[in-house]
Chain A
Amino acid sequence: MSLISFNWRVHFADGVLEEAIGSEIDMRGLGAPLLVSEAEMLTSELADRIRYSLPPRIRASECFPVLDANAPVEIATALQQGSFDTVIAFGPARMLVAAQEAVRYSGQKSGRKIALLAVPGLEGLPASWSASSGSKNAGAVASAIVCDPTVTFGIAPRMTASAGIDILAQCLEACFSCHYNPPADGIAIEGLTRVINALPKLMDADSLDLRREIMAASLSASLAQTKGPGPSQRLCDALCEATGRRVDRGSVKAIALPGIVAFLEHELDMDKRRQLTGLFPDAEKGSLAACLDSFIRDLPLPRNFPEIGISTGELFLAVDRLAQSGIQTDCYAHLQAIPEPKQRQN
């Protein structure tokens, strides 16, 4: 990798949401926003906070599609029906991706420049954003990103744990990638440190300081993904394809990640392995995989795939797809061939 690209404009502070949206709209001279999120967010507090953040003279239209493969088309259709100059996308990472796709498509088709303001929720930013930002024809992933930890306050520990493990996996797998990107390596370690320190404490008591740490880790994880998606990320994508359903990425990663790490950790040099192991509270347990497993076991997350509704058949189908997609030809070139099904059962 010779191109290192971080072209992001991020507002990051507690309670910054309203001010940042208003300021971006004023600064860019925008006046016709389309609010975009999934249908379930229509009456949410976050949706109301975003409506409130708009200057009173501005009337926003809204598009809240069901979050599925058709969502970008619905958003693009809404964009074509009005003369919008902004999309304010908020909530789940997949909705931010859908909005980005719709904005790019509509912009190319109409020749108009449409700003995208992205407000991530607990899940953080889409992993694919930083991965795509390295391509030579990619512009900024969004005109501006607003990270406000207060939007995640009060979310249930189970969902927080899942999001935390998703973030941890992104950071950890960035450390395993053989792509040469020193800033991303540093960012990944920084994100790991934050999430490992804050996540267990958040299970006991909610706190804005800890929420801020998790959101900062989430931003780091997104930036570290410049090195490309890791195996657990790809496994989640493959499971979505194989099952035709959305999967809880954090839960999938909580189950799969210790095994993936056990498989990969010997590829790391000793110093790096020691550095990563030392970030975990049970560093004396020895291997990185053991430390990770111990960390995850203390969180309220499922222990196996049937618990999250994924059958063994679906899992094998997903792993076969993953193998066919050529995982070992990309950034994990050092990864050995994925075991055959018989070996997997063991």
Chain B
Amino acid sequence: MSCALSVRHGSFGRAAVYQLDRTIITHAHREGHLIFYLDGQESSVEFEDKGCALNDSFSVAVSPWEPHSFQIPPNSTSCLCLVLYIKPIWFLENSPSAEFALQFGCNEVRLTPQLHELVMRLTSLLLDNEHVDQFDLILFELIRRCFEQTWLRMPKAGLLDRARLRFSDFRVRRSLRIMHESISVESDVESLARQVGLSRPHFFKLFKMQMGVTPNIYLNTLRSEHAIHDLLKTEKSVTDIAEELGFSSQASFTRFFSSNVGIAPSEYRRVARVDAESFPMVS
């Protein structure tokens, strides 16, 4: 069964060491996402049109809202990996550029000796579970180097056009608003499409074209984020959180959480460590 050895939340986002032995279905994050292989079974991350190997030579970079799934061969041993979810604003505030939020040029990151050393140092700090000032510095350096590597030989043109496209249709904008307001109910795409005056297929196509993910994946991301927030910053039971999010049972919520986040919600709550500044609103 997949488990977490360490999870840390901070102003940077989230960093975790996971031992994964099962596939994580297609999902997306609002953060920039980096996955580094540490040990065990080699695996891969699948995108819509390609797959990227995850092994001791290659890591994977995933841009915000880019759909992807984690694949591991069935009946294999688990894969130990360092997983980062980086808030674009944190990266931007530390980075010298004012041109792009955390959008990677490509998904594949070749693990150079320098990158490997940074990955090991970061993993060690995470597993030691100590609050070390160096953590953010090493983390930023690792992400910066990966980010720059993904843009080598890649044209930047067109990236912002895509970003700008996200909000250009008022019906998609309206649907986003409805989703944000009705996160706690099991909204179905059919009724969402109706509410914005489109047929289901047209809505699906338009939403995917503008946001990069399907409405279902978008809603799943919102629910996962909400669940993580409640698990870490409230005393609510897993059953209560499941109920608030519209799941019919704790079991179905656990299945949803495990297949989207990678580990069970109770396991996540047990392992995660939260810096004061990660959820200042509650702390």
Contact = CB atoms under 8 A, between A and B. Distances in A.
B87 to A, nearest CB: 7
B279 interface: yes
Contacts of A309: none
A74 to B, nearest CB: 23
A52 B167 contact: yes
Given A12-B98, A26-B281, A19 B164 contact: no
A56 B183 contact: yes
Interface in B177-191: 177, 180-181, 183
Given A29-B280, A49-B167, A52-B173, A15 B100 contact: yes
A56 B160 contact: no
B98 A45 contact: no
Interface in B159-211: 160, 163-164, 167-168, 170, 173-174, 176-177, 180-181, 183
Nearest to B97: A13
A208 B160 contact: yes
Given A20-B89, A23-B87, A52-B177, A13 B98 contact: yes
B160 A150 contact: yes
A53 to B, nearest CB: 10
Q: In the complex, which range does the number of interface residues on chain A fall in?
A: 20 to 34
B16 interface: no
Interface string A16-37: 1001101101111111000000
Contacts, number: 83
Interface in A20-76: 20, 22-23, 25-31, 43, 45, 48-49, 51-52, 54, 56-57, 59
A332 B92 CA distance: 41
Nearest to B279: A26
Contact of B92 (A16, A43, A54, A212): A16
Contacts of B160: 14-15, 150, 208
A40 to B, nearest CB: 15
B211 to A, nearest CB: 10
Interface in A271-304: none
Interface stretch (B40-48, B221-229, B254-262): B221-229
Interface in B228-271: 229
A6 interface: no
A45 B173 contact: yes
A15 B103 CA distance: 11
Nearest to B88: A19
A12 to B, nearest CB: 6
Interface residues of B, number: 33
Contacts of A11: 89
Nearest to A13: B98
A29 B281 contact: yes
B39 interface: no
A23 B93 CA distance: 11
A295 B11 CA distance: 47
A153 interface: yes
Given A15-B163, A19-B88, A26-B280, A56 B101 contact: no
A56 B222 contact: yes
Which of the listed residues A16, A25, A59, A212 has the most CB atoms from chain B within 10 Å of its own CB?
Answer: A16
Contacts of B174: 48
Given A14-B100, A23-B87, A31 B281 contact: yes
B49 interface: no
A45 B99 contact: no
B56 interface: no
B174 to A, nearest CB: 8
Nearest to A209: B99
Contact of B98 (A14, A19, A25, A51): A14
A190 to B, nearest CB: 15
Contacts of B87: 19, 23
A8 to B, nearest CB: 15
B136 interface: no
Contacts of A22: 89
A28 B282 CA distance: 11
Contacts of A28: 280
Nearest to A27: B280
B5 to A, nearest CB: 27
Given A48-B177, A52-B177, A57-B229, A13 B280 contact: no
A22 B229 CA distance: 15
B51 to A, nearest CB: 28
Which of the listed residues A16, A19, A59 has the most CB atoms from chain B within 10 Å of its own CB?
Answer: A19
Which of the listed residues B97, B177, B280 has the most CB atoms from chain A within 10 Å of its own CB?
Answer: B280
Contacts of B98: 12-14, 16, 212
Given A26-B279, A48-B167, A212-B98, 8 more contacts: A13-B92, A15-B101, A29-B281, A30-B281, A48-B170, A49-B167, A51-B177, A54-B180
Interface of B: 11, 87-90, 92, 97-101, 160, 163-164, 167-168, 170, 173-174, 176-177, 180-181, 183, 222, 225-226, 229, 277, 279-282
Interface of A: 11-16, 19-20, 22-23, 25-31, 43, 45, 48-49, 51-52, 54, 56-57, 59, 150, 153, 208, 212
- For the complex of A and B, 3 pairs with smallest distance between CB atoms: A48-B173, A19-B89, A13-B98
